Amino acid sequence: MDPEPKPPHRGLKKGLYVIPTLFTAANVAMGFLAVLSSIRGFASRMDPAAAAGYFDNAALAIGLAILFDTVDGRVARATRTATEIGVQFDSLADVLTFGIAPTALMYSWAIGPTFTENSPGHNLAVFLLFVYLMCGAFRLARFNLQATRPRVLVEGTPKLDKKAFVGLPIPPAGGLLAALVHFSPMPLSAHGNQPAHFYSYLLMALIGLLAFLMVSTIRYSSLKTGGSGRPGFFLVLVLAGVGMAVWFYSQYVLVALAAIYVSHGLIWWMIRYTGSKLRRTPSDGRNAG
């Protein structure tokens, strides 16, 4: 008796599920390499030039991880191969690459070489790095809950707005920290004791702000509305121009792009909050005189 024939393209369909997973695995690999490069850079801090090379490699690995993290989701949606285990795997990868790797890089590049161990500045920085990591993990857990909410809650629950994220996503947060290192990969201690302490405290303030934005309810554009036709064509031109700018001026362009994305949600929230306050202010109907 002849075996039952397989449906056409069944093997191809099963193979498509592997593609997003490969990009997520590449994300994990970049996070792993970023941590190793940060450790090597910290060990080489007595040779600032060599340490700068390791720190720059770690920052670039985090930048490439953002690219892989963006592609895996788009590939999964385009091929309709998104799975629950893929969502969880992607979040676990993000904890490593945009949570642990940036904190390791910040400690090795700025905090460890600048402050003596158990000093007040050192302990404060370690605490803020831990807060950043915890807020990033909480942000990912909240995102997973919101992504599955339309399937697990009762009927009538409003669907999640796919045009915006609630809270700052962890990849741009880690990307901004990595972009700062790529902009100036030399260890902060190489700039002198006083400037290193000043820059380190500014960095602590930024880390605390990023942690707050990740767990806030401020909305950030998901950049998933690309459009087709003429808008899509102009989007391709813009992306091509940005790609060329990154190729030639990566130190400046990457930190500018990361800063713009991180700040745009906060700016729009302040504008909406101010507008709502003005609309709620009762008008004074009394006539002068």
Residues 147-173 pLDDT 10s: 666 544 444 444 455 677 888 999 999
| CA triple 103-105-106, angle to 5 deg | 65
Position with higher pLDDT, 134 vs 147: 134
Position with higher pLDDT, 237 vs 5: 237
pLDDT (tens digit per residue) in 249-276: 889 999 999 999 999 888 888 888 787 7
What is residue 45's three-state secondary structure? coil
What is residue 216's three-state secondary structure? coil
Average pLDDT over residues 109-113: 94
Q: How far from 178 is each of 57, 150, 181, CA to CA, in Å?
A: 10, 34, 5
* Count of C-beta atoms within a 10 Å radius of residue 214: 24
Given a contact cutoff of 8 angstroms between Cβ atoms, the answer to whether 92 and 25 are in contact is no
| CA triple 115-121-126, angle to 5 deg | 90
pTM: 0.83
What is residue 219's three-state secondary structure? strand
Least confident interval from 12-16, 138-142, 251-255, 285-289:
285-289
Alpha helices (H) along the chain: 10-16, 18-43, 48-79, 84-95, 101-106, 112-114, 120-152, 170-183, 193-215, 229-280
Closest CA to 61 of 94, 31, 96: 31
The phi, psi pair for 136, rounded to 5°, reads: -65, -40
The phi, psi pair for 276, rounded to 5°, reads: -65, -35
Sign of the C-alpha dihedral, residues 105, 111, 116, 120?
negative
For residue 36, pLDDT over 90 is answered with yes
Q: Quick one: pLDDT band at residue 22, thresholds 50, 70, 90?
A: confident
